[in-house]
A = this chain, B = another copy of it.
Amino acid sequence: MSLVRPSLSSDGMKRTFSERREFMTEDMPASMHFHVVAGGARLFKSLPDGRRQIIGFAHKGDVLPAYPCTRYHYSAEAMRTLQVVCVPAPYLSHLHETSPGACAASLNSARQLLVSLHNRLLMLGRQTARERLATFLLGQGTRMGSGELWPVDPAISRADMADFLGLTTETVSRLLSAFHREQLISRERRAIHILDPDRLRAIVAHPE
């Protein structure tokens, strides 16, 4: 989902954050875009009393954009050792003003995000816990479009899944146990493998 390749050849802007480091918060001035080079990050918003909603996850190639506001509008935390290239906000906006191609690329990726967010609104607003978890597992397990089945990133904890799906860790845990009992998934350590994508898809469409 790389928007632009920042051709700042110098790696003076490259930074590394250790696991759990919250490198972007909602009360920071939004002066930099973060281009993820390695590692992963969770993006989230919080309520004053601590309730947390995960907006999404960022992986290699993704860009966390500083929208033209004074402050970031969500926070980001390294899920493991994270390497980013920091791109000054004015640099990208200048690029957008001068290069239609770069701007169109950013627009396109923004639109893809919009589509996925619309789907998540439907999920959070109208689907049951069981349907949400099945959707999540399919989204994680069948990414890349290929028929290949990937395990869910072990860096994603139960709490992360819960905060992503608008549930509690207990509910997630119980449902994973249920899916395991029903032979839909397997659990080794923290790694979750999808065994029966078709029946998972049936859960998404047909809440029984």
Contact = CB atoms under 8 A, between A and B. Distances in A.
Interface stretch (A17-25, A104-112, A170-178, A186-194): A104-112
Range for the number of chain A residues in contact with chain B: 35 or more
A109 to B, nearest CB: 10
Interface string A87-125: 000000000111111011011101111110111111011
Nearest to A46: B122
A68 interface: yes
Given A49-B207, A100-B103, A107-B110, A121 B68 contact: no
B47 A111 contact: no
A121 B126 contact: no
A52 B114 CA distance: 18
A83 interface: no
B100 A98 contact: yes
B108 A117 contact: no
Contacts of A53: 121-122, 125-126
B107 A51 contact: no
A122 B45 contact: yes
A151 to B, nearest CB: 25
Given A73-B118, A115-B67, A104 B110 contact: no
Contact of A120 (B99, B111, B114, B121): B121
Which 7 residue pairs across A and B have the least CB separation, nearest first?
A125-B166, A124-B124, A110-B110, A103-B103, A53-B122, A117-B117, A51-B126
